[in-house]
């Protein structure tokens, strides 16, 4: 077990493995993953070389948004197991040296939550102000032009109160009112409950959405509408979201939450940020006494990732010693899988080298389940789509189910060993071919390369905690140094599909480091990098 009084910055440079519990491992035979399944497979994550797991929501929920619509913050949903199952998971993870980060959805609840059921009944009950209630305009229309991420107005009429309530996502997911002090206290009490149980931190879902503009001013139009696949289908991106989210009251609350987690020792907060004014938001939210880590969508939505792009993003977010720490995320449950998005299904090593580079940049890294296998995006037919986001915008957008299909563990078993029953989402044959048991027996597989590299990297202190400076390179090369008081490590990555050479600068780089599994040859100061290869050298500082 970990020492609860420790103040170590374990999260610096951490590799955080994201588990989508519905799709990880089913032990009950109902076709849906569960907490016992996670516990059963924790050895896989520890062997991979991860430092922590982030588990997507598993508390009680009607499951309209698969756990992101919470109806009871302090109860495990029976679909996933019991509180005792979670305690067992915590104990097993800690015995393996893995921290456990719990997904907390604090911006909104389900409309089945007891708080909302009371609040909607009238304007004078004890929880009447716990949600965002507004009178209609004289013509009966909503109070402003705010839009829901999942389509349509972000205002829903409630006849019991004769008012609209605000929802940034599904209409069944009303937003909490963070201008109400009692709401903040209730949310902090929720977090205290899980900290007392021993969780090592929280991933804060859409944490810039907590507070809204109490003046309810209209959002202005967006003069630079994103053009990527993830944005063009949805009018939500046609507004600049300057009043419905990203308010200063959110930062004040995060400082209160940080003070709470700090009182428990070495706990960490990982925030999900939006992309409006992304650089400013990241710097504000990761400054002292706020979030330890945060990630945005710049890589998650990208269809091309180049060395120049990564240098620019790292510099923009701030890579100096006094800057906040980013968390690099290439895949997660909300975006298409990178190997498909980046056109690398036939060359998984093109994504492996990007993941390796991200883990060596200053910051932590989220590794989504299946990324270590090089899983492609599942292309599901319309009748298989159950994601409400995808069903709303089909066919322009197919939703998020394609990145949420079950983990393939054993190729020869029914549904690749995920479940003996019909799974909640199908297991593709292309995923079965990349199952864990298949790749374990292949020396050059994506899984074995990731295992070798991540286990090598976790023992190089400079790659976890060091400062960072970039080296000048050609188009396909990313090169930088990570430096601590005792060590400097030079990292060089070839993102291109052809061999490249790189001339080391005059400054001494020290001998080549071995054991990471990436091929490169050094001849004097010249490094010969194969396609999607990497080179590392180290010396005392």
Tokens of 160: 């019991």
Helices (H), 207-264: 248-262
Alpha-carbon gap, residue 458 to 49, rounded angstroms: 7
User: CB atoms < 10 A from the CB of 43, how many?
Assistant: 12
Please give, one letter per residue, the 3-state secondary structure of 163-196.
EEEECCCCCCCCEECCCCHHHHHHHHHHHHHHHH
**Which residue in the block uniquely carries the two structure tokens 């070839």?**
494
Closest among 372, 373, 371, 392 to 382, alpha carbons compared: 392
Interhelix angle 83-95/181-197, rounded to 10 degrees, is: 60
For residue 28, give the DSSP letter.
Answer: S
Q: How many helices (H) and strands (E) does the chain have?
A: 14, 20
Q: β-strand 59-60 against 477-483: which pairing, if any?
A: unpaired
CB 366 within 8 A of CB 329: yes
Residues 6+ apart with CB under 8 A from 196: none
HSE-CB at 93 with a 13 A cutoff on CA atoms is 29
For 273, the token pair is 């940020």
Taking only Cα atoms into account, the Rg of the chain, rounded to an integer number of angstroms, comes to: 23
Distance set, CA 111 to CA 64, 173, 251, 368, 391 (Å) = 11, 6, 26, 29, 20
Q: Which of 534, 537, 515 is nearest to 524 (CA)?
A: 537
Helices marked H in 22-103 — which ranges?
35-48, 83-95
The residues near 10 (Cβ < 8 Å, ≥ 6 apart) are: 51, 52, 99, 266, 268
Q: List strands edge to edge, sheet with 163-166.
A: 133-134, 163-166, 155-158
End-to-end CA distance of the chain: 34
- Structural contact between residues 490 and 484, judged by C-beta atoms closer than 8 angstroms: no
Token representation of residue 468: 């960072």
Measured in whole angstroms, how far is the alpha carbon of residue 493 from the centre of its chain? 24
Q: Find residue 176's DSSP bridge partners.
A: 131
Q: Under a CB-based contact definition with an 8 Å cutoff, are residues 79 and 31 in contact?
A: no
Residue positions annotated with a catalytic role: 205, 272
């Amino acid at each position: 077990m970990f020492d609860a009084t420790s103040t170590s910055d374990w999260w610096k440079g951490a590799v955080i493995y994201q588990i989508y519990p519905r799709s990880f491992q089913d032990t009950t035979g109902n076709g849906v993953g569960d907490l016992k399944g996670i516990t059963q497979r924790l050895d896989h994550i520890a062997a991979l070389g991860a430092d922590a797991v982030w588990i997507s929501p598993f508390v009680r929920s009607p499951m309209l948004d698969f756990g992101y619509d919470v109806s009871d913050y302090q109860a495990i949903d029976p679909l996933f197991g019991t509180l005792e199952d979670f305690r067992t998971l915590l104990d097993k993870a800690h015995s393996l040296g893995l921290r456990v980060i719990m997904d907390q959805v604090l911006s909104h609840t389900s409309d089945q939550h007891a708080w909302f059921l009371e609040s909607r009944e009238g304007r004078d009950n004890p929880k009447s102000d716990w949600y965002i209630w507004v009178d209609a305009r004289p013509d009966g229309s909503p109070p402003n032009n705010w839009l829901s991420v999942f389509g349509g107005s972000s205002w829903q009429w409630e006849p019991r109160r004769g008012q609209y309530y605000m929802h940034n996502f599904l209409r069944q997911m009303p937003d909490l009112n963070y201008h109400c002090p009692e709401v903040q206290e209730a949310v902090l009490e929720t977090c205290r409950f899980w900290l007392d149980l021993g969780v090592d931190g929280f991933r804060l879902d859409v944490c810039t959405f907590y507070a809204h503009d109490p003046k309810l001013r209209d959002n202005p139009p967006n003069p630079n509408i994103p053009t990527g696949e993830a944005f063009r289908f949805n009018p939500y991106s046609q507004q600049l979201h300057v009043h419905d989210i990203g308010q200063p009251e959110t930062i004040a609350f995060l400082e209160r939450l940080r003070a709470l987690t700090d009182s428990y020792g070495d706990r960490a907060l990982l925030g999900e940020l939006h992309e409006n004014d992304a650089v400013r938001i990241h710097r504000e939210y990761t400054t002292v006494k706020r979030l330890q880590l945060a990630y945005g969508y710049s890589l998650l939505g990208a269809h091309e990732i180049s060395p120049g792009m990564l240098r620019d993003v790292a510099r923009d977010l701030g890579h100096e010693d006094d800057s906040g720490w980013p968390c690099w995320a290439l895949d997660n449950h909300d975006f298409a899988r990178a190997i498909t998005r980046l056109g690398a299904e036939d060359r998984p090593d093109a994504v492996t080298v990007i993941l390796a580079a991200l883990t060596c940049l200053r910051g932590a890294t989220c590794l989504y389940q299946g990324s270590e296998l090089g899983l492609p995006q599942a292309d599901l037919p319309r009748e298989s789509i159950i994601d409400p986001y995808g069903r709303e915008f089909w066919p322009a957008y197919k939703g998020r189910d394609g990145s949420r299909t079950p983990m393939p563990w054993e190729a020869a078993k029914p549904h690749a060993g995920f479940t003996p029953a019909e799974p909640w989402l199908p297991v593709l044959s292309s995923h079965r071919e990349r199952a864990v048991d298949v790749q374990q027996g292949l020396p050059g597989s994506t899984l074995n390369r990731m295992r070798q590299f991540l286990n090598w990297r976790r023992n190089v202190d400079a790659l976890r905690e060091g400062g960072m400076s970039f080296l000048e390179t050609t188009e396909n090369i990313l090169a930088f140094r990570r430096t601590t008081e005792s060590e400097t490590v030079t990292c060089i990555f070839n993102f291109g599909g052809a061999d490249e050479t790189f001339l080391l600068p005059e400054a001494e780089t020290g001998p080549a480091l071995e054991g990471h599994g990436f091929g490169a040859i050094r001849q004097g100061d010249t490094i010969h990098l194969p396609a999607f290869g990497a080179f590392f050298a180290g010396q005392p500082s």
